[in-house]
Amino acid sequence: MDKIPLNHKLNKEACDKFIKNADVSVKDICEKIIENTMYVSYENFVKTLNIIINEYIELTENLHFYNNYRPIFIYNPVDKKNVDEYNILKYKSNYWIYKYVYKYLQKIIDEYNNSSGSKKTKLIEINNLSNTSQLKPNDFILIIDDCIFSGGQTNQTFLKLLNTSENPDNYYFYMLIPFGSNNAKKMITLRYDNMIDYLKKRKRQSSYSKVIFPTNMKEIKSIKSVLTIDECNLLRSFYNSQLFDINTYLIYFDHKLADYASVPTIFYLGVVPNNYNKNLIKDLNNSQFKQISKQLQIIPIIHNCENYLENLDIMEPLCPFTPYKKNFLTNIRHLLKKNNSSNKRKIIKNYHSY
């Protein structure tokens, strides 16, 4: 990947301070969330992504390299012909990951082709199913993302692709996604099956779905699998329902902290659940929350996010710094400027340690 993120592991000292300053009624709850949070370093993310790419190659090796020499079709979420769309979507995480997967697959293909002395296998990016003449029934199409939470956003992308053909059940869809919830997998598969039933005006003939998930996809924990409903509601009472959703998951990455619909973003940003903050943010929406956030007691629990203390945004959190955004290097320079020389050396060392 052209840019890599900083190290954004949990800061143990800050976590202890966060719990200490939380209301006594939620101290244990805060501790449970922190202990059960899956932090995914950049190194671990790339490693897991490589594993599922290799799993796909092993599954389809005969199809692509030995018998039929069918192309590897990879869905590009960004249509470069649509300039307005491209200028927006090229700064999204799935396109950042797509570019990495494309290069990784091309390297594998080149190695196979060179070893066989021919160039029979190709890698073809597609934007829809109707104008790709190379597609044949039973071909595999790769759908790429970093993580599926509820599955809603990935499912919208998937359905958008399916809607470009009257016969989407002609193909297999391999969900090249390294992290995800079982609920998302079930929802995406169900939506696909229902769409096929609708298009064909009948029930599916096969007993299996053509949506395939990697066996090595790492399952993520929901907050409700760690806390009771009463504990969830108690914590939400300190943040309010417009800023904190109990149907979320306990994970974040070096390259991204997801929005509040996917994870407890307000918690990971360090807004302490106590009565002082509760009185300030009661009944606020995100835009109002951003305006008053500098008045809050904030103890950032994520490393290298210590200076993110105002204009907090639970829809597009600025930290961890996202390497696929155009302001990534600006944010790092700003972070370096705010730190003393000792911290600067640590930040630079962490950045180059990959």
Looking at residues 144-168, what average pLDDT do you find? Answer: 85
Q: How far apart are CA 298 and CA 272, in angstroms?
A: 6
Q: What is residue 295's predicted lDDT score, i.e. its pLDDT?
A: 96
**Do 178 and 271 belong together in one domain?**
no
**Residue found under tokens 């390299």:** 65
Average pLDDT over residues 35-64: 96
User: What is the average pLDDT across 127-150?
Assistant: 90
Q: How far is CA 154 from CA 143, 283, 333, in A?
A: 9, 30, 33
307 and 319 both lie in a single domain: yes
- The pLDDT, as a whole number, for residue 262 is 95
Q: How far is CA 254 from CA 7, 45, 220, 257, 296, in A?
A: 6, 9, 16, 8, 25
pLDDT in tens, 253-268: 999 999 999 999 999 9
Strand partners, 41: none
The mean-pLDDT minimum among 61-65, 90-94, 99-103, 121-125 falls in 90-94
Between residues 170 and 201, which one has the greater pLDDT?
Answer: 170
Query: Domain for residue 1, yes or no?
Result: no
In whole angstroms, what separates CA 229 from the centre of its chain? 25
- The mean pLDDT value for 149-155 works out to 83
pLDDT digits (tens, 9 = 90+) for 192-236: 888 777 666 655 555 457 899 999 999 999 999 999 999 999 999
- Is 64 found in the same domain as 25? no
Q: Report whether pLDDT(41) > 90.
A: yes
The confidence band for 344, taking pLDDT boundaries of 50, 70 and 90, is: very low
Cα 207 from Cα 61, distance rounded (Å): 24
One domain, residues 268 and 214:
no
CB 250 within 8 A of CB 238: no
Claim to verify: residue 136 and residue 51 sit in the same structural domain: yes
Highest mean pLDDT: which range of 82-86, 97-101, 263-267: 263-267
| pLDDT on residue 219 | 97
Mean pLDDT, rounded, for 122-149 = 91
Query: Whole-prediction pTM value?
Result: 0.87
d(CA 303, CA 266): 16
Evaluate whether residue 2 is within a structural domain: no
202 and 96 inside one domain: yes
Q: Is the domain of 68 the same as that of 143?
A: yes
Helices (H), the chain: 12-21, 27-36, 42-59, 61, 83-89, 93-116, 152-162, 182-200, 229-239, 265-268, 275-281, 286-292, 328-338, 341-352
Average pLDDT over residues 57-66: 91
**CA separation for the pair 329, 137 (Å, rounded):** 45
Whether residue 6 is contained in a domain is answered as: no
pLDDT of residue 83: 58
Same domain for 47 and 187? Answer: yes
Q: What angle do CA 144, 173, 138 make, to 5 degrees?
A: 140
| pLDDT tops 80 at residue 335 | no
Q: Is residue 7 part of a domain?
A: no
Q: Is the pLDDT of residue 177 over 60?
A: yes
| 166 shares a domain with 136 | yes
Residue 206's identity, in one-letter code, is: S
Within a domain: residue 114?
A: yes
Containing structural domain, residue 251: 12-41+221-352
Are 206 and 133 in a shared domain? yes
Between CA 230 and CA 95 the distance in angstroms is 39
> How do residues 270-288 score in pLDDT, each as one tens digit?
999 999 999 999 999 999 9
**Last residue of a domain, which of 154, 186, 218?**
218
pLDDT at 296 over 80: yes
Q: Does 192 lie in the same domain as 102?
A: yes
Residue 4, in any domain of the structure: no
Query: What's the structural domain count of the chain?
Result: 2
Last residue of a domain, one of 218, 237, 253: 218
Q: List, in order, residues 6 or more apart from 130 with CB less than 8 Å away.
A: 164, 165
pLDDT: is 238 or 157 the higher one?
Answer: 238
Interior CA angle at 181 toward 11 and 123, to 5°? 100
Of 196, 218, 240, at which residue does a domain stop? 218
What pLDDT was estimated at residue 352?
41
354 compared with 294, residue with greater pLDDT: 294
Q: Output the average pLDDT for the chain.
A: 87
Instruction: Tell me if 252 is assigned to some domain.
Output: yes
Burial of 106 (0-12, 13-18, 19+ CB in 10 A): middle
Q: Give me the pLDDT at residue 227, please.
A: 98
- Helix H, strand E, coil C: the string for 293-354 is HHHCCECCCECCCCCCCCCCCCCCCCCCCCCCCCCHHHHHHHHHHHCCHHHHHHHHHHHHCC
Sequence-separated (6 or more) residues with CB below 8 Å from residue 2 = 99
**pLDDT digits 0-9 by tens, 106-124:** 999 999 888 876 778 899 9
More confident residue, 4 or 347: 4
Would residue 5 count as lying in a domain? Answer: no
Q: Are residues 26 and 48 in the same domain?
A: no
